[in-house]
Amino acid sequence: MKMVKATGLTKVTTERLELLSKSNTVSLQEVTAKFIEHRTKDSLDERTALLATINDYRRTKQFQSFAKNRKQKEVSTLYGFIVGTRGIWDKAETIRRKAKSIIDKQGMQAAQEQGFIDGENHILDTRDKIYGRPNADYGKPLPEGLHVLDLMLYGYFRHNGDKLYKWGTIQTSNNALARGWDKDIIQKARWFSPCQVSAIIDFEDKTDITLRATTMKESPSVFKGLSEKLDIKAIIDKSTKFTPLKDVEHTYEMVKGAWDRFVAVKGVVTNMNLDRPDALGRVTVSIMNPENEDETLRIRVNPTLTEIDFGELSEIYVFGKPERSMYRDRETGKLEDGDVVVDAFGIYPVTKTPKASSLGESTSDDDVVSGWLE
């Protein structure tokens, strides 16, 4: 195998690559090759390329642990509180929207040739796999009333007896449970409310936990409200590694290929555009570092956060996904890269204003189970 060398590196980078090689039981040559690829192919500076390489091996470890733990079907009871969500995702509706978009932009013939509709203009099921297994209905007409719901909640969870809370997610692909969570948690804004829930642990380390909902009759993943008082701010402060506002762009460049990229940031609200939601229903809030007013960040607030109970000059904690914004050049009409923003699915106001502004609208559905019990 041809030797791969990286010259002119700082001592910190060299030592970190060697440590990464040892901790992952792989050759230094392999680690260095990944680092060089990020430097050249992704055009990253030395520090960001190093962070990207570290993140590659972090994801590998997480996937291996996920695959190992997924075989275990034991249900655990977790305690904590929910921070937020990005909302329900209907996979079937996504297929319908994509097919209709192709029809509107390219016509029926093009949609048929690309496999989105059949000769009778029925929208086809384009999922080749479901949960990693071949889809028997691939290429067949998608039933008109079919809904395939998926919902993920974000929060802090701990085991009974533990003092440390871990940042985590809990996900369901069960239609009735997803609707129940939506009706009884999202629409009722049960954010930061103490609760317990039964779930299967897919991944866990010292700081993070990934949970999978269960629909077992004896222990379904229905959240139960608890009357205990929690110091939410203290728990978040102790369990969270906040990204400085000035480093959010670097962090985005490091993890932009990861679908589950996440950052937690904090700052003071400088302005709010609540009366101008974008096409997705998001409103923009800007925050600054109170220690350096030149460090600012735009936050796009997900409409699943049905209330904003803070105002300008309030200090807030924000949980969300870093994204590169886009804008249309007025002269050329082309879309151009803008600043890095955070799509917030959870916001904790350290200081609040007494008046709340409603952002969401409620929906209903007959096929719903209870998502929360008092």
- Averaged pLDDT score across all residues of the chain: 88
Q: Which amino acid is at 130?
A: I
Q: 170 pairs with which residues across the strands?
A: 153, 211
pLDDT given at position 8: 75
Q: Count CB-CB contacts under 10 A for residue 37.
A: 16
- The DSSP secondary-structure symbol of 300 reads E
Give the β-pairing of 208-213 and 166-172: parallel
Query: Can you tell me the distance from the alpha carbon of 83 to that of 355, in angstroms, rounded to the nearest whole number?
Result: 20
**CA–CA separation, 317 and 321 (whole Å):** 13
pLDDT digits (tens, 9 = 90+) for 90-111: 999 999 999 999 999 999 999 9
Q: What is the mean pLDDT of residues 36-55?
A: 86
Burial-class residue 83 by CB neighbours within 10 Å (0-12, 13-18, 19+): buried
Q: What is the pLDDT of residues 327-371, one digit of tens each?
A: 888 888 888 899 999 999 999 999 876 544 445 444 445 567 677
Higher pLDDT, 85 or 4: 85
pLDDT value at residue 56: 85
Residue 177 has pLDDT above 80, yes or no: yes
Helices 46-70 and 28-40: angle between axes, nearest 10 degrees: 120
| 294: Cβ contacts below 8 Å, ≥ 6 apart | none
Report, as an integer, the average pLDDT of 75-100. Answer: 95
In Å, how far are 21, 37, 108, 158, 269 from 29, measured between CA atoms? 9, 12, 52, 39, 46
Give the DSSP H/E element, type plus range, for residue 43.
none
> Count of CB atoms within 10 A of residue 242's CB?
15
Percent of the chain residues past pLDDT 90, beyond the cut:
59
Average pLDDT over every residue of 318-328: 93
| Most confident of the ranges 53-62, 122-131, 234-243, 324-333 | 234-243
Sign, Cα dihedral of 40, 41, 46, 49: negative
pLDDT at 2: 41
| 316 DSSP 8-state letter | E
Q: Which residue has the higher pLDDT, 7 or 39?
A: 39
Please report the sign of the dihedral spanned by the C-alpha atoms of residue 330, residue 331, residue 332, residue 338: negative
Answer whether residue 65 shows pLDDT above 80.
Answer: no
Residue 285 has pLDDT above 60, yes or no: yes
Average pLDDT over residues 198-218: 94
pLDDT at 306: 65
The per-residue pLDDT for 353 is 65
- Which of 328, 331, 308, 330 is CA-nearest to residue 318? 308
pLDDT band at residue 55, thresholds of 50, 70 and 90?
confident
pLDDT at 73 over 70: no
pLDDT at 4 over 50: no
Paired tokens of 352: 């609040």
Q: Quick: pLDDT tens for 251-283.
A: 999 898 888 899 999 999 999 988 888 888 899
